[in-house]
């Protein structure tokens, strides 16, 4: 028995730019249905947002405490960083207990922690700004080839 081809899934792959229209036609044996440029733009925008978010959540590097270490930046990490920063700013605490990825908590002076916080927010903001710029490029493009050429590239931002 031959393999069943799910045309809808293949068409979805074309919309996501994972499969070309000509490949669809070779696999299915019929012309690919017309796809609006707005569909391609929608999927490319989502692809860029997902890649950006993934990179942010994977964390950043800092030497705020004197050692070059990786720090997580999950949603929970971001909330913790913000809370500790606020407590330091309001003088509720004089120093902070925090941790690099996979390590035990260490004491950070106020200055060290604020440096760590600022580096985390800079890391996040740079990526969001880059993502928004790429999305703006996608919105201004009117051909599929150019949309395909826009990709998220993880950059060593150290």
Query: What domain range includes position 72?
Result: 60-124
pLDDT above 90 (res 81): yes
**Nearest Cα to Cα of residue 99 among 86, 88, 113, 110:** 113
Looking at the DSSP bridge assignments, the partners of residue 98 are 106
**Average of per-residue pLDDT values in the chain:** 90
Contact of 24 with 11, CB cutoff 8 Å: yes
Burial grade of 56 (CB within 10 A; 0-12, 13-18, 19 or more):
buried
pLDDT above 90 (res 135): yes
- The whole-angstrom distance between residue 22's C-alpha and the CA centroid of its chain comes to 30
Buried b vs exposed e over 86-99: b needs ≥16 C-beta within 10 Å? Answer: eebeeeeeeebebe
User: Is 28 inside a domain boundary?
Assistant: no
pLDDT above 80 (res 3): no
Identify the pLDDT of residue 22: 84
User: Is 38 inside a domain boundary?
Assistant: no
Name the pLDDT band for 17 (thresholds 50, 70, 90): confident
pLDDT above 80 (res 92): yes
Q: Which residue has the higher pLDDT, 60 or 28?
A: 60
Name the pLDDT band for 51 (thresholds 50, 70, 90): very high
What letter would DSSP give residue 17?
T
**Main-chain dihedrals φ then ψ at residue 62, nearest 5 degrees:** -150, 155
| Helix/strand/coil for 104 | coil
Number of domains the chain contains = 1
* 86-103 mean pLDDT: 96
- What's the pTM value of the predicted model, to 2 decimals? 0.82
User: Is 72 inside a domain boundary?
Assistant: yes
Q: What is the CA radius of gyration of the chain?
A: 22
**Main-chain dihedrals φ then ψ at residue 115, nearest 5 degrees:** -65, -45
User: Is 44 inside a domain boundary?
Assistant: no
User: Is 71 inside a domain boundary?
Assistant: yes
Identify the pLDDT of residue 156: 58
pLDDT above 80 (res 1): no
User: Is 98 inside a domain boundary?
Assistant: yes
User: Is 35 inside a domain boundary?
Assistant: no
């Amino acid at each position: 028995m031959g393999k069943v081809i799910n045309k809808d899934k293949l068409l979805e792959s074309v919309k996501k730019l994972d499969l070309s229209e000509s490949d669809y036609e070779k696999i299915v044996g019929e012309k690919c249905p017309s796809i609006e440029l707005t569909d391609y733009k929608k999927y490319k925008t989502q692809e860029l947002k997902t890649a950006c978010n993934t990179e942010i959540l994977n964390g950043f590097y800092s030497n705020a405490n004197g050692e070059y270490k990786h720090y997580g930046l999950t949603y929970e990490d971001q909330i913790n960083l913000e809370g500790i920063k606020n407590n330091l700013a309001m003088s509720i605490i004089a120093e902070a207990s925090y941790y690099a990825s996979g390590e035990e908590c260490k004491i950070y002076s106020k200055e060290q922690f604020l440096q760590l916080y600022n580096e985390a927010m800079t890391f996040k903001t740079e990526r969001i700004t880059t993502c928004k710029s790429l999305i703006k490029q996608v919105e201004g493009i009117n051909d599929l080839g150019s949309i395909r050429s826009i990709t998220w590239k993880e950059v060593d931002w150290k």
